[in-house]
Amino acid sequence: MTLFRKKHRSAGRLFWLVPALCLALAACTPAVPPASVPPQESAAAPTQAPAGTLHGIGEGEFRPDLTVPPPTEAASTAPPPTKAPETVPPPTQPPETLPPETLPPETQPPTQAPPVPTAPPETPPAPTQPPTEPVPTQPPVQPTVPAGSHDANGNGIPDQQDIVTGARLYLAQKPQYNMYGALDAAGYVTAAADGVVYGVCTDVVAAALRYAGYDPRTLIHEDILADLAAGTNQYYGENGEKNYDYRRVRNWDVFLRRHAVSLSTDPRDLSAWQPGDIVVFNPAADGGQIWEGHIAIVSDRKNAEGIYYCLHHGDPGQSVYEEDLLTTLTARKPVLGHYRYDGYQG
């Protein structure tokens, strides 16, 4: 019994000694770093390597001189760690590839290119000599009136030029030839109810002088009264018809002879004629009477010979009011009087 106890005690002591030795051996054995074993093989590898092999070396490749595979070889045999794929942002498409309506307002393509800043213009150097005037391609306009002429209406334009302008303005209405046209409040021809101006040749002269600043209706009427008082009886039909006396050619001829400058009646005496002059044609050479004459305003235009045209109204249905009367009409109606009403010559 005593021997059994001694054996039992010895066995118990051996029972505790074996685990202690195992723990001591385990503590002396170096641990293999976890990185030398691939993750996928560590789970399936046996807890103890088979005899004749080392970690990381297969059968037939046993190398006694190696006890632990170097880290570099273990790393080379181990597969590279799997990395999560990097998320690459998709490339930004240029705004022009998208429809304009889908783009936000700030990304809309500009409707036009921004203005390119321009450098301020360089100041040209001051010319050392005055610039040369260009040579005119057309001849200068001929002067229509002489310098120093009378200016009745005070508009800064001589009477002669105003008379031409007044005649043109009246004839621009395309008057119809009729002695009994409508009169305005001042007794001068005006448009009738149908909008048409009815007048005769003397109405052209009256409108021309009226535009220049004169009142020929009153001037002729007062001169007729003075002639009656003097008993000279030069005027035709001296009956004091104020609204019609100034519309007779003979009365105009008498008035101009008494109160205007008389000039040459030869149309080819070019130096004697100027625009704005008044010319009276005598029908006597055509078998007519003096009161059947014609009167016109000298225009500021000439024919090829340098003879002035005339502004007039002498026939029913007339549509052209500027004609070469001093060349064509004088063949049967020579010039009776040529006058320049450059201010009232009382």
CA-only gyration radius of the chain, Å: 64
Residue 46 domain flag: no
The number of distinct structural domains making up the chain is: 1
Is-contact 248 280, C-beta < 8 A?
no
**Helix, strand or coil, per DSSP, at residue 248:** coil
- What does the block give as tokens for 51? 């005899």
Residue 273 domain flag: yes
Residue 292 domain flag: yes
pLDDT at 235: 87
pLDDT in tens, 204-227: 999 999 999 999 999 999 999 999
Residue 296 domain flag: yes
Residue 128 domain flag: no
Domain containing 214 — which CATH number?
3.90.1720
- Residue 240 lies in domain: 159-340
Higher per-residue pLDDT: 321 or 126: 321
> What pLDDT band is residue 260 in, cutting at 50, 70 and 90?
very high
Residue 184 domain flag: yes
Interatomic CA distance for residues 303 and 324, integer angstroms = 7
Residue 300 domain flag: yes
Is-contact 295 202, C-beta < 8 A?
yes
Is-contact 157 175, C-beta < 8 A?
no
Residue 111 domain flag: no
pLDDT in tens, 116-174: 556 555 665 555 554 454 444 554 444 454 555 789 999 999 999 999 999 999 999 99
